[in-house]
Structure 1
Amino acid sequence: MSLVDTVGDILWGTRAYDYGSRIFKSAVGAYTRIEPSETITVGDVSATFRPSSFVEWSNVHTRIWHERRVLEHLLADVRTDDVFFDIGANIGIYSCLVGRLLDGGAVVPFEPYPPNVRRLRVNLAANGLSPTIIERPLAATAGDATLSVHDTVGPGAQHATLGRGYHTSPIEARLDVESVTGDALVADGEIPGPTIVKIDVQGTEDDVLSGLERALGSDACRRVYVETHDNLDDIARRLGTMGFAVETIPVDRPGKDPTVVGHAKRGGHNATAS
């Protein structure tokens, strides 16, 4: 846990917390108006980010801290020629860190929320990366859909989803979107098939898995990381039926379900490492 988190926990619910929080957010907000260059290191991998708001700054710092064990596990598994699907890329934390390790491989970021897409491009460019961003949300089937945003209308929004049942917080924005399946994108040659996949889509993970089942079942794909949202058991069972051995990695965030990791058991390139 970071120092800011520790102090916040101690003061939570007090006037000092409310006052300090307002001062802290105002100071960070002023700082990010210059779009500072922030270098973040996880293990042996460093990436640069250029936050333009408090929400982005907080994502870069606290999210990396909260998900450090997941990131360390994933980064240690990356090969230079991997094709990494970052489904729910947000402003690019996973895409930028993984991209720094690739030589001959590719990052494929998926992010349907336009304010996030703009900041994702800035952060990718700051790390010398220029992949094609898929701006359509993945689902079980293609068609018209509604993307609901539950936390902030600005860049860095983490709670944008096609689902209806996961969030209890008010909807801040709605966007009409066209969903697509991952398998269709691969079959059409729009993107290469994945070797490693990360999914964080705020409750519709099973739908994404359904629409990507053929690609995940290929001999090339060896790992799937799924951030769960009140659906841990369902996702673990689903990955098991798709031919993956399952483990979980805890997330350093109170009340948050762990991330599920699927290791392919099939023979060949994607066999589970011993």
Structure 2
Amino acid sequence: MRHLIIKSLRIIFNIRGMSWLLKILFKTDYNRIFRYVMGKVDNLDINKEFVVRRKIKGAIFELDLYKPTQRSIYYAPLYERENLKLTFKYLQQNSTFIDVGAHIGYYSILIGKNVRGVNVISFEPSKENYDILCKNIELNNLKKIVTPFPFAVSDKNETTTLYLNPFNDGGNSLEQLPHQALKEEKVQCVRLDDFLKEHNYYNINFIKIDVEGHEMKVLHGMPNTILKFHPTFLIEAQTKNEQNEIVIFLKSFGYSHFHLNSYHLDILCKY
């Protein structure tokens, strides 16, 4: 029943002109409305092994519909449309894209499939998400383009605790969660400056950071990378204060162009 309800919503949201109409009527985008509606049906029963596949922009994704974020990717017409549009606009061909907090590879796979000559480095510390990330790389024959690493990224090279969000598979964090995490994992952290130097990665053009409140520590671990490559950043902040802190930090490196997402706390930072 739940599958039929949300499938019907997906059909409705795909109607031509629906995105424009929703913005006029509700002063917001359809992705936000979609997440709200899906939250209302979250109490319906669902098979906990409801694994499906969906093709998005030429890429195939294996998704577990029991997981809220993966379910959003499956049912939304195009999950995080605005951020994807900006990423494709500013990411250069024949360059390196770094995905910090890759989750199951939504950005990594779409970039690997659709940008010519790109080299993708994906960091995902959660074992469960990392396994799905690797599966999606294999499904799309991207092993030579997308390289996954089961590491967290921070300002230190150390072993630390990853707190697993019991309500959102995309909400795991190195920061203590506001609610009690049901599970924890010990994970290896790397400083991006040290990691890139050790592996001899170059031409770093675009870095996406989505690490649930740990964004500033990721940035503090990569000053040399910022100074050398001046990559474009897409960063998901958790609070307005953190958003301001990120802007101030990158301005100190000479960044002057900032695009703030209209509905969320995401920031595109361009040198």
The TM-score by the shorter chain falls in which range? 0.7 to 0.9
Gaps of 5+ in 2: 1-8, 14-31
**How far has the Cα of 1:22 moved from its partner?**
4.1
Q: SS of 1:216's equivalent?
A: helix
2:234 aligned with 1:225, yes or no?
yes
| Structure 2 CA distance for partners of 1:145 and 1:6, relative to 1, 3 Å | closer
Conserved? CA contact 1:113–1:135, under 8 Å? yes
| Structure 2 CA distance for partners of 1:241 and 1:60, relative to 1, 3 Å | same
Match among 141, 148, 157 for residue 169 of structure 2: 157
2:122 aligned with 1:139, yes or no?
no
How far apart are the structure 2 equivalents of 1:132 and 1:148?
A: 24
Conserved? CA contact 2:154–2:221, under 8 Å? yes
How far apart are the structure 2 equivalents of 1:201 and 1:8?
A: 20
CA RMSD for the aligned pairs? 2.8
Question: In the alignment, which residue of structure 2 is the partner of 1:210?
Answer: 220
Conserved? CA contact 2:72–2:79, under 8 Å? no
How far apart are the structure 2 equivalents of 1:177 and 1:157?
A: 16
Question: In the alignment, which residue of structure 1 is the partner of 2:140?
Answer: 127
**How far has the Cα of 1:54 moved from its partner?**
2.2
| Structure 2 CA distance for partners of 1:116 and 1:190, relative to 1, 3 Å | farther
2:59 aligned with 1:40, yes or no?
no
Q: What is the TM-score of this pair, normalised by structure 2?
A: 0.78
| Structure 2 CA distance for partners of 1:94 and 1:132, relative to 1, 3 Å | same
Conserved? CA contact 2:91–2:205, under 8 Å? no
Tell me which amino acid in the other structure corresponds to 1:135.
Answer: P
Tell me which amino acid in the other structure corresponds to 1:49.
Answer: F
Question: In the alignment, which residue of structure 1 is the partner of 2:250?
Answer: 239
Conserved? CA contact 2:52–2:63, under 8 Å? yes
How far apart are the structure 2 equivalents of 1:215 and 1:124?
A: 26
Q: SS of 1:50's equivalent?
A: strand
**How far has the Cα of 1:49 moved from its partner?**
0.5
Conserved? CA contact 2:52–2:65, under 8 Å? no
Match among 180, 199, 222 for residue 190 of structure 2: 180
| Structure 2 CA distance for partners of 1:127 and 1:240, relative to 1, 3 Å | same
Gaps of 5+ in 1: 265-274
Conserved? CA contact 2:34–2:76, under 8 Å? no
**How far has the Cα of 1:251 moved from its partner?**
5.9
Conserved? CA contact 2:157–2:189, under 8 Å? yes
Show the 5 A alignment for 1:1-12. Answer: 6=33
Identity %: 19
Tell me which amino acid in the other structure corresponds to 1:181.
Answer: R
2:266 aligned with 1:259, yes or no?
yes
Question: In the alignment, which residue of structure 1 is the partner of 2:81?
Answer: 68
| Structure 2 CA distance for partners of 1:36 and 1:213, relative to 1, 3 Å | same
Q: What is the TM-score of this pair, normalised by structure 1?
A: 0.77
Q: SS of 2:117's equivalent?
A: coil
Match among 186, 189, 192 for residue 199 of structure 2: 189
How far apart are the structure 2 equivalents of 1:10 and 1:141?
A: 40
Q: How many pairs were matched up? A: 239
